[in-house]
């Protein structure tokens, strides 16, 4: 564990640490200090020390879904815990415990290629494993909650350890207990239950078509989870920028859930409106629909636009990109975000909600509006 009062070697000045490289949006940010936790035994002493000094802090995973301030008057704590363990296995399923600091996409590749299925639709999402339950990350018809059995986490205010069931995690669309109580939990590991039986989910977008191409190349009629994963990787790479080449934090806006009556009205003017039915926990259709936020932004004439240097991606309007890495600030993001929201609201009457976590200069956390 890094000493609480030992500065990080990479500093912009004598007292603050440059952490612009620790957020995938590459926003300029100077933080008070940076602590990397690599052992479970480091966690409790670190937070006791922070509490004793009444020191504000921010728990930061790989920085893939956050918007950092230009100056962060808080200590940044990064839980870089590594390791994977098989907890149980039978002919149908396998249950794995994966530490929070493991790379998400590497986990997807490893499990699917070993014949353990469930994560294939979530390939190429930029995240560490510890971030997956917080956002309840999802893509192409699958959410993390579909395969999460439970989560192990440290509750910071009470300095206590918890093993939370799926129900305890309070998962919903892009939401969880950990997001609702941001700053109170440090996730140490996630337990996944995966299937050994192939059940490909190819219902979204072009996944079925591209996956079938992979199957045909292999001389098969039926699509496998590996085909599905490869298809999703291809599709994401064709549409989404690599954070190393063009900084971004993934999908910036949630797909809004609106009343079906509003969708029906919009379809009269926009028959190509991309939307999906919303089902309840029992699988029954509701009176709501999920509308594709990217389509709304695109049809508002905003693909590749915004307020420089923060612009929507030219191939996927749902993604905000930073064209001035390590120079652009949180204020730049706010200007572009608000411009996009106002434009879409005027055209469609739908208010887009931002997905990333917004961190204030004092270390407090809120959702971007």
Our CA angle for 363, 45, 190, nearest 5°, is: 75
Upper half-sphere CA count for residue 273 (Cβ side, 13 Å): 24
Answer for the pair 145, 193: CB distance below 8 angstroms, yes or no: no
Nearest in space to 294 (alpha carbons), one of 330, 328, 332, 256 = 256
Enumerate residues 6+ apart whose C-beta is below 8 A from 57. Answer: 47, 50, 74, 75, 76, 77, 183, 363
Active site residues per annotation: 174, 251, 355
- The DSSP bridge pattern shows strands 30-37 and 71-79 to be parallel
Nearest in space to 338 (alpha carbons), one of 314, 359, 355, 354 = 354
CA gap 351, 21 in Å, rounded: 31
Burial (CB < 10 A; 0-12, 13-18, 19+), residue 272, is exposed
């Amino acid at each position: 564990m890094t000493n609480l009062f030992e500065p990080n070697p990479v500093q912009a000045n004598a007292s603050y640490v440059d952490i612009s490289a620790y957020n995938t949006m590459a926003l300029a940010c100077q933080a008070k200090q940076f602590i990397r936790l690599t052992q479970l035994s480091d966690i409790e002493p670190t937070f006791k020390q922070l509490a004793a000094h009444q020191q504000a802090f921010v728990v930061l995973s790989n920085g893939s879904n956050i918007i950092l301030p230009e100056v962060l008057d808080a200590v940044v704590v990064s839980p870089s815990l590594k390791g994977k363990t098989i907890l149980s296995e039978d002919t149908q399923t396998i249950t794995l415990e994966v530490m929070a600091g493991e790379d998400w996409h590497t986990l997807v590749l490893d499990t699917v290629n070993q014949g353990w299925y469930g994560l294939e639709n979530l390939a190429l999402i930029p995240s560490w494993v510890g971030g997956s339950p917080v956002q309840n990350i999802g893509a192409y018809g699958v959410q993390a909650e579909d395969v999460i059995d439970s989560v192990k986490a440290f509750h910071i205010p009470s300095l206590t350890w918890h093993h939370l069931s799926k129900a305890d995690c309070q998962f919903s669309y892009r939401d969880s207990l950990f997001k609702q109580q941001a700053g109170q939990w440090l996730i140490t590991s996630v337990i996944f239950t995966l299937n050994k039986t192939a059940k490909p989910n190819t219902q979204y977008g072009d996944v079925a078509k591209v996956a079938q191409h992979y199957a045909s190349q292999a001389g098969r009629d039926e699509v496998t989870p590996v085909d599905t994963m490869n298809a999703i990787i291809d599709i994401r790479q064709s549409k989404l920028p690599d954070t190393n080449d063009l900084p971004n934090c993934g999908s910036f806006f949630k797909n809004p859930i609106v009343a079906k009556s509003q969708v029906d009205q919009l379809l009269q003017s926009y028959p190509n409106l991309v939307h999906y039915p919303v089902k309840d926990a029992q699988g029954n259709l509701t009176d709501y629909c999920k509308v594709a936020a990217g389509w709304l932004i695109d049809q508002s004439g905003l693909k590749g636009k915004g307020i420089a240097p923060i612009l929507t991606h030219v191939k996927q309007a749902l993604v905000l990109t930073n064209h001035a890495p390590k120079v652009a600030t949180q204020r730049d993001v706010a200007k572009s975000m608000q411009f996009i929201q106002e434009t879409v609201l005027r055209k469609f009457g739908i208010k887009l909600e931002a997905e990333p976590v917004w961190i204030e200069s004092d270390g407090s956390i809120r959702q971007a509006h």
